[in-house]
Amino acid sequence: MGKLIGYVSTRHLKDITEEDVGYLDVINIAFGRLRKGRVEWNHPECKSILAQIRAQNPELKILLSVGGWGAGGFSEAAMTKERRERLTASAIELLREYDFDGIDIDWEYPCFRVAGIDGSEQDKENYTLLLECLRAALDKAEEKSYMLTIAAGGDEYFTICTEMHKVQKYVDYVMLMTYDLKGGFLTYTGHHTSLYSNKRDLYPASADKAVECFLRAGVPKEKLVIGAAFYSRMWHNVPDIDHGLHQMAGTTGGYGPSYHSLLRDFINKNGFIRYWDDEAKAPYLYNGKTFISYDDEVSLKEKAGYVRENGLYGIMYWEYSNDETHTLTGWIRKQLDKGKV
């Protein structure tokens, strides 16, 4: 049975319904940050909320995710043995203070210097050494069996700049961020979170291609998690050709409406028409000038089937508050459980 992992921002922990707590296997709290080489997440007001969630589903694992887009400090903190041990010690302090079940490292991205984050060619080896340090310290803890996971970029650039065949030994699973595969960097429209690549796509990233890439890099299939998006990517000034799919737009694909907003105002409403790419197994919207890429129940069903058929660890999504209808978490759970004995 595939596992279901949901990213939940700190301020939205209070909004998780009891029903969804029952559907989830893991909650990743987004985000802890690195400050002066130490992991920080100072939210004592969340302790009662965490206790309530645990009471609702004692089997649920709650992890602190550290990092995220635009979060720096990893390259510097992983640079030396002393610094790696400092980060690790601070992480374990937090796990114990809040009774977390583990830590999720979202270092975006080793070796790259983007979004104001520093990077180094040494990150390739230091990424491995950091996770080795964390795993060793977590295994020494006597109070519980702690989890260690990572979120990884969903394309070859990530495997080139890491040693995934070594990394996979230290982590419980690897979450592939198979969303934002197109968007903020591209003026070319397309699916930002598709299951498969369309052969007419100039930038053919997809969940399936990411899985193939990480398998080649040495990660076993049973440790791979694919990503789903509860939000969209939107391009403007898109030519009215092929319903806007695979066209050069007047803008990059900026952050678009959340799923509940799409249902309310965009899907077959206000001039937008929903189309389905059966090759990519992905929906999209177009109104003659604006193109929107997103996940819906149909594409999520396809992703869940892919996880089951290929023996992957599960599905994760970003991010819980982007579905105020509180339907997608339960829908994914239902699809993952199909065929369950």
Which positions are catalytic? 108
Residues in the chain: 341
| Sole residue written with tokens 């950091």 | 130
DSSP state letters, 116-135: T----TTHHHHHHHHHHHHH
The upper half-sphere exposure of residue 120, i.e. CA atoms within 13 Å in the direction of its Cβ, equals 14
Q: With residue 318 as reference, give the H or E element that holds it.
A: strand 314-318
Burial class (CB in 10 A: 0-12, 13-18, 19+), 310: middle
The upper half-sphere exposure of residue 296, i.e. CA atoms within 13 Å in the direction of its Cβ, equals 19
- Are 195 and 206 in contact by the 8 Å Cβ rule? The answer is yes
Buried b (16+ CB within 10 A) or exposed e, 199-230: eebeebbbbbbbbebbeebebeeebbbbbbbb
User: Which amino acid would we find at residue 282?
Assistant: A
Cα 181 from chain centroid (whole Å) = 12
The two tokens of residue 197 are 């690549």
